[in-house]
Amino acid sequence: MGSADFININNLSIGYASGSKQKIVAANLNAQINKGELVCLLGSNGAGKSTLMRTLCGFQPFFDGQISILGKTIGILTEREISRLVSVVLTDRIVVPNATVSELVSYGRSPYTGILGRTNKKDLQFIERAIEQCGIAHKKDALLSSISDGERQKAFIAKALAQDTPVILLDEPTAFLDLPARVEIIQLLRRISSESGKSVLLSTHDLDLALQMADRLWLLHNNGPLITGSPEDLLLQNAFQRLFQNKGIEFDTKTGLFRVEYEHFHELPIKGHGFEYVLLRRAFARRGIKTTGMRENPEWWIEIGKNGQSTFHLYKNEKQLISESSVEMIVKQTMNCMDLKINNK
């Protein structure tokens, strides 16, 4: 293990045991996380993301291989020892009746406060600093039941920060949030890893955010393997196509983003380019029409823009039939003129 590795897993096999029977979810997993890295775990449903997360934090045993955190082997450590190495934010919505934000965050100090749970001056400093870092100081006395989902998730992250561990694991921390809140949470985790030197591993379905924000990605395939690397290197290797193959989406190597696959029944040449073309292509694709570049002597085609304007002009046999400034209207008028039915031949 390299000296910079905060987490190292070698030939790991994970799954569930029922009596003498074992159900292996994924095997021969190998990966590392370095100090101060934000790592996103991606994979389809059923690939074993949650199982891997729960195994890494010692919540369930593994069948084979090794997990080490800062050189210490998970499996021989006590629960208290693990709690000083790893803090965890799980998907499950934990209900803490009548608790305030400060009270929730204070639970993060439990590995250090003893049986009675009394906090000292040092504990209070950790609690206040964690609340400040997560941007919820103005809500510290508010009941958890009275704040938004995004603020509540920040409170749970603050609890993990107050625990003062070198590693933070989060299982789908943005699962219940709207888009602005999801972006805010990932940006917060980005700052935590960069500024505090803590290693942050989160499982997520937010592919676009992971591609933009993570230092490293873990791609977990069904039954393994676990492919790791920077987002840029994995893009170069076209590693995403296999992960999501046959799911009705395709990976656009030009944009680095996923694109929904549509079934096409017609083709329509387009003369033009730029943002207007991207929008027009998407609108027609939803209706089963594939847009193409111009070819010689087409019967029907659309020209984008004249005299620097964002307009759309439908032609048939060199004669302009329609001019519209709305994507919705040019699509509707084109389908009417061509007598096309949505997603039908």
My answer on whether 208 and 291 are in the same domain is: no
Per-residue pLDDT, 176: 87
Q: Distance (Å, rounded) from C-alpha 54 to C-alpha 225?
A: 18
- In tens, the pLDDT along 243-292 reads 766 666 676 666 666 677 777 888 999 998 888 898 999 899 888 899 99
Per-residue tokens: 317? 């046999």
Per-residue pLDDT, 95: 67
Of 247, 279, 305, which one is at a domain's C-terminal end? Answer: 247
Position 319 in a domain = yes
Structural domain harbouring 42: 5-247
DSSP assigned state of 119: -
Which stretches of 249-324 are assigned E, i.e. beta strand? 249-252, 257-260, 266-271, 289-292, 300-304, 312-316, 319-324
What is the distance between the terminal CA atoms of the chain, rounded to a whole angstrom? 60
Per-residue pLDDT, 208: 86
pTM, entire model:
0.80
Per-residue pLDDT, 22: 84
My answer on whether 102 and 226 are in the same domain is: yes
Q: Distance (Å, rounded) from C-alpha 314 to C-alpha 293?
A: 15
Per-residue pLDDT, 332: 93
Q: Is pLDDT at 88 greater than 90 in this prediction?
A: yes
Q: For 30-109, where are the alpha helices, taking DSSP H only?
A: 49-56, 79-83, 101-106
Q: For the chain, where are the alpha helices, taking DSSP H only?
A: 49-56, 79-83, 101-106, 110-113, 121-133, 149-162, 179-196, 207-213, 231-236, 239-243, 275-285, 327-337
CATH code (residue 319): 3.30.413.10
CATH code (residue 54): 3.40.50.300
Q: Is pLDDT at 343 greater than 50 in this prediction?
A: no
Instruction: Give the range with max mean pLDDT: 3-7, 296-300, 306-310.
Output: 296-300
Strand partners, 67: 9
- In tens, the pLDDT along 28-81 reads 999 999 999 999 999 888 888 999 999 998 888 899 999 999 989 888 888 888
Maximum pairwise Cα distance, the chain: 85
Position 345 in a domain = no
Mean of per-residue pLDDT scores for the chain: 88
Q: What backbone phi and psi angles, to 5 degrees, belong to 81?
A: -65, -40
- Residues 92, 172 contacting (CB under 8 angstroms): no
Position 344 in a domain = no
Per-residue pLDDT, 256: 65
Q: Is pLDDT at 1 greater than 60 in this prediction?
A: no
Of 218, 247, 276, which one is at a domain's C-terminal end? Answer: 247
Per-residue pLDDT, 247: 61
Nearest C-alpha neighbor of 124 from the set 142, 140, 139, 143: 140
Question: How many residues are there in the chain?
Answer: 345
My answer on whether 149 and 42 are in the same domain is: yes
Nearest C-alpha neighbor of 186 from the set 166, 167, 172: 172
Per-residue pLDDT, 68: 92
- In tens, the pLDDT along 96-116 reads 778 999 999 999 999 888 766
Residues 6+ apart with CB under 8 A from 236: none
My answer on whether 234 and 138 are in the same domain is: yes
Q: Is pLDDT at 186 greater than 60 in this prediction?
A: yes
Position 252 in a domain = no
Mean pLDDT throughout 324-334?
Answer: 93
- Residues 87, 112 contacting (CB under 8 angstroms): no
Say which residue, 340 or 301, is predicted with more confidence: 301
Residues 6+ apart with CB under 8 A from 61: 17, 55, 75
- In tens, the pLDDT along 195-246 reads 999 999 999 988 889 999 999 999 998 877 899 999 999 988 888 877 766 6
Amino acid at 303: E
Count CB neighbours of 294 within 10 A.
Answer: 12
My answer on whether 240 and 299 are in the same domain is: no
Per-residue pLDDT, 116: 66
Q: Distance (Å, rounded) from C-alpha 147 to C-alpha 100?
A: 10
